[in-house]
Chains A and B, each alone.
Chain A
Amino acid sequence: MKNARHPLSLYIHIPFCTLKCAYCDFNSYAKLEDLIPPFVEALIAEMRLWSPVVQSRPVPTVFFGGGTPSLTPLPELARIMAALRDCFALEPEAEITLEANPGTVNRDYLRGLADLGVNRISFGVQSFDDGELKALDRIHTAADALRCYRWAREAGFQRVNLDLIYGLPFDSPSASRRAAQGERVMMERWQATLEQAIALGPEHLSLYALTVEEGTKLAHDIERGRAPAPDGDLQAAMYEWSGERLARAGYRQYEISNWCRPGEECRHNLVYWRNGQWLGLGPGAHSHLGRKEEGGRGKEGVTYRFADVYSPRQYIERVRETAAAGIDAGGAAPALLASMRQVTFVDPQPAELQMADTAILALRLNEGLSVDAFARRFGRSPDDVYGAVFAEMTALGLLERAGGHPDGCSGERIRLTDRGRYLANEVFVRLLPDQPL
């Protein structure tokens, strides 16, 4: 996994939350704050474990996600940042993003973050409607969000993202909700939220349709008839409206759920979508690593997706065990990963799967899939692999071909149409390899 000069991003998972939100199925835990100090200890230990393996690779982006990273006290975060710089080849201009919950931060904290080198902040605002926030079990109010935003700017943050959720069905689950009137109320509420966000003028906006994930409180409530299920048609209408509104406000959509001012794309997330490589640290953090020299056929070689154990307690224990036993730093990827006891599953990615992932992830981006880049990476043209699907989906108006991209990327590209963007799964399922691998 030593892959000199091949960039490697870092994802750091902070699994703690004050309260678990109704819709959330991320790897996060409320009431475990006591574990923060030993967790930070383990996180730093994990960095030291990986350091000899990947220290030569330049790190262009770091992303602190959660959970609620902003629950980490500044001194602990300072230790993490110091270890980061010590263990990895952080680029001088690296993008360092931290997710913050508006209910957990104050002016000093935001200043402290900026001082530590965090240069991009992402607020989980979700809504500017207090009723909706309450229904989502968020711990903050709209006023908190507005205040935080101002403090962040005062602290000098020049890159701010707001996460928003639309398509909330939290009115009473009565029949009238289905009526046009109910839909109009929900639409207006969403419009007000987005207008408020636009008025603040963040560099970046992520708009997520509320999704009912298995095992969440929301799923449970819907099952029991205590909450209505989100209405996909209404979400589609909200999405359409939002796209137009944001374009008028000068935002450019660059991914299914993401908009930004020109040049303000989240570079870290682009690594995912371009099927690049990153190392995830912390409980439940996913990684995608590999190198060309290692095994496999085709130009790309085999890469590995893997994740650390999900439970914070187990994570702390396993990292300690690994640190005590030592790792097989010089070994091939499977041996190395086997010696990392905090790693819970390893999923080798043969070329066929990498091709599908590359195509699916690239199509999420407005820039789409570059025919040349794909061919260079896998030695096969995407039309050669997916020609029939492309033709069928193009005929149905879900895909289109484009020449050069405004970004200056040259060559032919395949991308979702405006209509296709909200039906993306219909395209993606057809790109999956036939036999689940």
Chain B
Amino acid sequence: MDRSRIRNFSIIAHIDHGKSTLADRLLELTGTIPARQMAEQVLDTMDLERERGITIKAAAVRMEWAPRPRPSPEEEGRGKEEGEAARETPLLPSSSSLLPGGEAGGGGATYELNLIDTPGHVDFTYEVSRALAACEGALLVVDASQGIEAQTLANVYMALDLDLTIIPVVNKIDLPSAEPERVAQEMVDVIGFKRDEVLFVSAKEGTGVEALLAAIVQRVPPPSGDPEAPLRALIFDSKYDSYKGVIAYVRVVDGEVRAGRRLRLMQTARTVEPLETGVFRPSFAPTDGLAAGEVGYIATGLKTVRDCRVGDTVTDEARPAPAPLPGYKPAKSMVFAGLYPANSEDYELLRDALEKLHLNDASLNYEPESSVALGPGFRAGFLGLLHMDIVQERLEREYGLDLLATAPSVEYHITLTDGSEVAIASPADMPEPTRIAGIGEPWMNVSIVAPDRHIGNIMELVTGRRGEYTKMDYLEHDPHLKAGERRVLLEYKMPLSEMLVDFYDQLKGRTQGYASMDYSFSHYSPEDLVKVDILVNGVPVDALSMLVHGERAQQQGRALVERLRSLIPRQLFEIPIQAAIGGRIIARESVRALRKNVLAKCYGGDVTRKRKLLEKQKAGKKRMKRVGNVEIPQEAFMSLLRIGK
């Protein structure tokens, strides 16, 4: 394909703003997938993605499209049926007038459109940035009834930094609650688009999608890059395939990939002999090679995605490029949690499951850890909270494991009294308080978008969690909007540890669901932190230790022991539950000894039924973890998540 006929683009959208539906429509309209084969959200292949309606792993697809010289009769007909038709007319000139002159003007020319789908969640920011880096353009899709959200902005700025051409699209104009004009104006005001750049679409009904394709061809520049230069291809995703090994999803920037040539991954310094190259239709379609500007895949034969990292540069072993493409960053875990099999006999199963997940998810880190309370397990590192959620859910769902996850933690940087530094990801690993000179914890840049009537509630929530206000901007400048209706962008810095537990839920709760949030790592900052240990029946339960801010240690320790008292069932003896800092007890509760557990009556000799009741009790006991001689239910280990903030 002539490079001038290639367009590489991504879609930037907030969760639920319709990115996947739009992608589906594009696939359908370009005939990449016949309508009758369309399963909803073709690009989202994991069950979990479909269920949650979000994209976890990026995917790519190649479409071929020949602009028609005139809008088809049904396009015109549809336009008239739509109430928006009149307004659309000036914004959506007929396709032919959109086409670039010259080469494409003849009508029948076919374009190669590569859609690179991006993960739609804040935890996968780096993956998003690499997907964007593989493109020349991006569609910014905003829900006509919701407006711009925090995460949309973060991704737009990322795309602007990468010099991408952005096509603003207002989607879901079919919704009764749609306010396309207002949202278009918001895009103009906040991001600085020209009013007539904005396209109006209903991905669900297909309205305006043809015009959108035309705009992609017209506005997104073809790939630049030097076909004669040594090979440089950007890996924007990778996936493990049990037949082909690790498959690298690449955008060729310079040079070309030829079948049979040995390749090198510049960052990880791995040499690979590719088994196959090809493009996405959207399933793998082998080709002889990939030319500069093209998007496709290389079957590397590598055994784990860890060797084939997103952001790495592929070059030719025999004729290597002098420098890799910019922007490589190894994935860094931000959130950590202990993962234990609820039933300790399942340890091997958990290990195998983590290994398999890891083949496909380079951002998942884990290492064996042993808890006094919970036995052998793993400390796993995640990109963020959603990532952690997804991994846990996949382990339980796809591998049938009954998991016990400890409360999430961040990575602390500890300066010891001897001047050395250690990083710890679990409060249980904290050195003795006397050896600690200082503790640093990660802070995040947090941006929140919400209607201005919720500013007070948001302020209260964030500052209550040690957050610090940075700035505030109104997203809308329309003077006719009522007070309380205008949307604002609030920016804060706050410790990540304060965001781990129900922060997002609280934010949603306090803003009637209107707030959206984005965050990124800011810096490490020394804080007054202390480790609070929990002793159950005199035995320290490492899995319940927590690091909290000194001022709040007392209150948090008390809240946790109270919570535990209500969660630990009464047993055959009294069980003291204590919170301690070092050797000092700061809170104490006790679970009174059980006095009654008896079936009073066994009527008419129905022994079978009595036995069933006992079986039920026995099953209940089995689900608990025995620490010392105390049985602790699994919920207790999650109770750190529930203590009042």
Contacts and interface: CB of A to CB of B under 8 A. Distances in A.
Contact of B572 (A211, A233, A426, A429): A426
Interface in B566-619: 572-573, 592, 594-608, 611, 614-615, 617-618
A436 B573 CA distance: 28
B621 interface: yes
A239 B594 CA distance: 14
A53 interface: no
Interface centre among B595, B598, B621 (most CB of A within 10 A): B598
B603 A211 contact: no
A305 to B, nearest CB: 5
Interface string A220-241: 0000000000001101110100
Interface in A108-124: none
Contacts of B596: 209, 232-233, 235-236, 239, 422-423
Interface stretch (A43-51, A70-78, A280-288): A280-288
Contact of A211 (B600, B615, B621): B600
Given A425-B598, A426-B572, A429-B618, A280 B604 contact: yes
Given A398-B572, A425-B598, A286 B617 contact: no
A88 to B, nearest CB: 17
A428 B601 contact: no
A432 B572 contact: no
Contacts of B595: 232-233, 236-237, 422-423
A417 to B, nearest CB: 12
A426 B604 contact: no
Contacts of B608: 286, 305, 307, 347
Contacts of A63: 604
A167 B618 CA distance: 25
A423 B572 contact: yes
A361 interface: yes
Nearest to B616: A429
B598 A432 contact: no
A432 B607 contact: no
A257 interface: yes
Contacts of A428: 614
A423 B600 contact: no
A286 B604 contact: yes
A13 B604 contact: yes
Contacts of A307: 606, 608
Contacts of A259: none
Contacts of B572: 396, 398, 423, 426
Nearest to B595: A236
Contacts of A425: 597-599, 614, 617
B532 to A, nearest CB: 31
A278 interface: yes
A436 B614 contact: no
Contacts of A239: 596
A63 B603 CA distance: 12
Contacts of B602: 272, 361, 364
Interface in A382-401: 396, 398
Contact of B598 (A356, A361, A396, A423): A423
A357 B598 contact: no
A215 to B, nearest CB: 13
Given A426-B572, A429-B618, A432-B614, A272 B605 contact: yes
B600 A432 contact: no
A333 B303 CA distance: 61
A280 B598 contact: no
A210 to B, nearest CB: 8
A347 B601 CA distance: 21
Looking at B594, B601, B615, B621, which has the most chain A CB atoms within 10 Å of its CB?
B601
Contacts of A157: none
Interface SS majority for chain A:
mixed
Given A425-B614, A432-B614, A436-B615, A286 B598 contact: no
B607 A272 contact: yes
Identify the interface centre among B595, B596, B597, B601: most chain A CB within 10 Å of its CB.
B596
A426 B600 contact: no
A432 B608 CA distance: 12
Nearest to B603: A26
A366 B72 CA distance: 92
A429 B571 CA distance: 14
Contacts of B615: 432, 436
Interface in A321-346: none
A13 B605 CA distance: 12
A264 B397 CA distance: 59
Contacts of A252: none
Given A272-B605, A361-B607, A429 B599 contact: no
A286 B605 CA distance: 6
Contacts of B618: 429, 432
Interface in B59-83: none
Contacts of B598: 209, 256, 421-425
B607 A305 contact: yes
A33 to B, nearest CB: 21
B597 A424 contact: yes
Interface string A25-39: 010000000000000
Nearest to B619: A436
B616 to A, nearest CB: 9
A187 to B, nearest CB: 14
A423 B597 contact: yes
Contact of B601 (A11, A208, A287, A436): A208
A436 B612 CA distance: 9
A360 B600 CA distance: 13
A65 B603 contact: yes
Interface string A254-289: 001100000000000001100000101000111110
Contacts of A422: 595-598
A280 B595 CA distance: 35
A287 B607 CA distance: 10
A380 to B, nearest CB: 20
Contact of B614 (A236, A287, A429): A429
A286 B607 contact: yes
Contacts of A288: 605, 607
A396 B594 CA distance: 12
Contacts of B606: 286, 307
A398 B607 CA distance: 22
Contacts of B601: 208, 211, 257
Nearest to A434: B618
Nearest to A206: B601
A11 B605 contact: yes
Contacts of A357: 607, 611
Nearest to A268: B605
Nearest to B606: A286
A13 B604 CA distance: 8
A378 to B, nearest CB: 17
Contacts of A285: 604
A422 B603 CA distance: 18
Nearest to A436: B615
A363 B602 CA distance: 13
A307 B609 CA distance: 11
Contacts of B621: 429
Nearest to A306: B608
B264 to A, nearest CB: 57
Interface of A: 11, 13, 26, 63, 65, 208-209, 211, 232-233, 235-237, 239, 256-257, 271-272, 278, 280, 284-288, 305, 307, 347, 356-357, 360-361, 364, 396, 398, 421-426, 428-429, 432, 436
Given A305-B608, A429-B614, 6 more contacts: A11-B605, A26-B604, A208-B600, A422-B598, A423-B598, A425-B597
Q: Which A-B residue pairs are the 3 nearest by beta carbons?
A: A236-B595, A232-B596, A425-B597
25 contacts: A13-B604, A26-B603, A26-B604, A65-B604, A208-B600, A211-B600, A211-B601, A236-B596, A272-B602, A284-B604, A286-B604, A305-B607, A357-B607, A361-B607, A364-B602, A398-B572, A421-B598, A422-B596, A422-B597, A423-B594, A423-B595, A424-B599, A425-B598, A426-B572, A426-B597
